[in-house]
Amino acid sequence: MSKLGNIPVNAQDGKKRTNPLAGVFDELVQFCQSRSMFMLHYCTGCGAIELPPAMTSRFDMERLGIQPMVTPRQADILLVTGYVSVKTLKRVILTYEQMQSPKYVIGICSCTVNGGMYWQSYATAKVLNEYLPVDVYIAGCMPRPEAVIEGMRRLMRNIEDGKGNAWKDYFQRYDYYLGNQQHLFGNDWQTPTDIIGEARHYGLESEETYGEHTKILEQHQQPLEPYKMRIKL
Ligand code: SF4
């Protein structure tokens, strides 16, 4: 008899497995994932103001199994709550890459969709999904708590139906995302995370994982040194 731990539960191609027990586990895991979502809300802009009412007693988002988490390493969802300046986007990407897969991104506010009222600003990134794979956008300036909760429910339904797979796109088309990041931050942009190694680990390498931008990264990539703390006495 096979051990429970040996039964594969994640269908890579979206198809049901022939093993009926594994199919049951696929659905069970997807159901559990969709009902226990820990969110890291990165308060980039004014849209974050709608999160306290969405979470507290009036709308009570926690009843859906959604609760805030203080560290990216234990969070499933990254909420980007408004306009993202170029400086902030670097931190958003660093945060996203530290989250464990499967992971999901929700762009809240029109500013994440197309730049919103900052569409002409030289200092903001306009379209979030050029830099990170976004699962759900919640448009509005700013969206009300009902809209935020509806966006969360949409993501829950996607995960339950096995359609919450945007995180795979970051590995499968890494060269595209890296190219846009290099365009904004310069060719010497690098993060501490080995995305290509992770793509190999998950079996998500594709032709578009590699390209001219990953070649540029390879040329200058080096281990990042921690900053030394200097105390002036
Ligand atoms: S869409 Fe409106 S509320 Fe949201 S970040 Fe932009 S300006 Fe602020």
**What CATH number is given to the structural domain containing 43?**
3.40.50.12280
Q: How many domains does the chain have?
A: 2
| Cα(140) to centroid(ligand 1), Å | 8
pLDDT band at 230 (very low <50, low <70, confident <90, very high): confident
Question: If you take atom 2 of ligand 1, which residue's CA is the nearest one?
Answer: 141
Let me know if residue 230 belongs to a domain: no
Q: What's the pLDDT at 2?
A: 41
189 has a pLDDT exceeding 60: yes
Q: What value does the mean pLDDT of the chain take?
A: 87
Residues 6+ apart with CB under 8 A from 75: 38, 39, 40, 69, 99, 103
The alpha carbon of 137 and the centre of ligand 1 are apart by a number of angstroms equal to 13
Query: Which residues does 183 contact at the CB level (< 8 Å), separation at least 6?
Result: none
**Domain extent at residue 181:** 165-218
Ligand 1 atom at shortest distance from the alpha carbon of 44: 5
**pLDDT score for 7:** 47
> Does 126 map to a domain?
yes
Position in ligand 1 atom list of the atom nearest CA 142? 3
Question: From atom 1 of ligand 1, which residue's Cα is the shortest distance away?
Answer: 141
Final residue before a domain boundary, out of 118, 146, 163? 163
Interatomic CA distance for residues 226 and 88, integer angstroms: 20
- In the predicted structure, residue 4 carries a pLDDT above the cut 60: no
114-171, pLDDT tens digit by residue?
988 998 999 999 999 999 999 999 999 989 999 999 999 999 999 998 888 999 999 9
Total-model pTM: 0.85
